Amino acid sequence: MDLTALNKMQYGVYIVSSTADGKMSAMIANTVFQVCAEPVLFAASISKQNFTYELIKKSEKFAVSALSEDAPFEFIGKFGFKSGRTVNKFDKVNHTISKSGKLPIVLEYAAAVYEVEVVKDIDLDTHVLFIGKVFNMQLIDEKKPTMTYDYYHKVKGGMTAKNAPTFIKK
């Protein structure tokens, strides 16, 4: 099989965040998508190795910040290549704690944000597909185009983390 064919799939670049037991974390995800319109349901594929996975599993809630193309690589790397177990990813980052779900939401470089309550999760061996009902969403900047994963790689020079569902071992 030619695994490079997977590079033709379209993805976005998102920050997925959650909180539980007084701790909060966030991570870069490229596999977040709408699966239903009524009610609005999202799905997110999250590695079981990520701290954010543990927080989503405990709280059954997560937030999604759809990043805009102007997000610099260094900003993305802060959420994608460090562990929330050892680093406060929200330090010096424009974010808020939502009133409705008490979730940490990254506002910096976000085009839109969503709050999601998990209604089902599907074990996928290394990852879990969390499916959840969107209970709040906000357009932050309609003029900013949302960053695609292709743009992240070609323009930003981004890499794929080993925990990403799209990681291909060389």
Phi, psi of 161 (to 5 degrees): -70, 150
What percent of the chain stands above pLDDT 70? 87
Lowest mean pLDDT among 79-83, 88-92, 128-132, 154-158: 154-158
More confident residue, 69 or 153: 69
- pLDDT mean over 117-127: 97
More confident residue, 90 or 152: 90
How far CA 110 is from CA of 9, 89, 107, 142, 145, in Å, comes to 22, 16, 5, 10, 10
Q: What is the DSSP string of 38-55?
A: TTEEEEEEEETTSHHHHH
- Residue 156, pLDDT > 80, answer no
Q: Are 137 and 131 a contacting pair, CB within 8 Å?
A: no
Where is mean pLDDT largest: 4-13, 65-74, 138-147? Answer: 65-74
What percent of the chain stands above pLDDT 90? 66
- Residue 135, pLDDT > 70, answer yes
**Per-residue pLDDT at 151:** 67
Residue carrying structure tokens 């543990």: 54
Where is mean pLDDT largest: 61-65, 73-77, 147-151? Answer: 61-65
3-class DSSP assignment, residue 112: strand
Per-residue confidence band for 141, with pLDDT thresholds at 50, 70 and 90: confident
User: Cα–chain-centroid distance for residue 126?
Assistant: 17
pLDDT, tens digit, for every residue of 71-97? 998 999 899 877 889 889 999 999 999
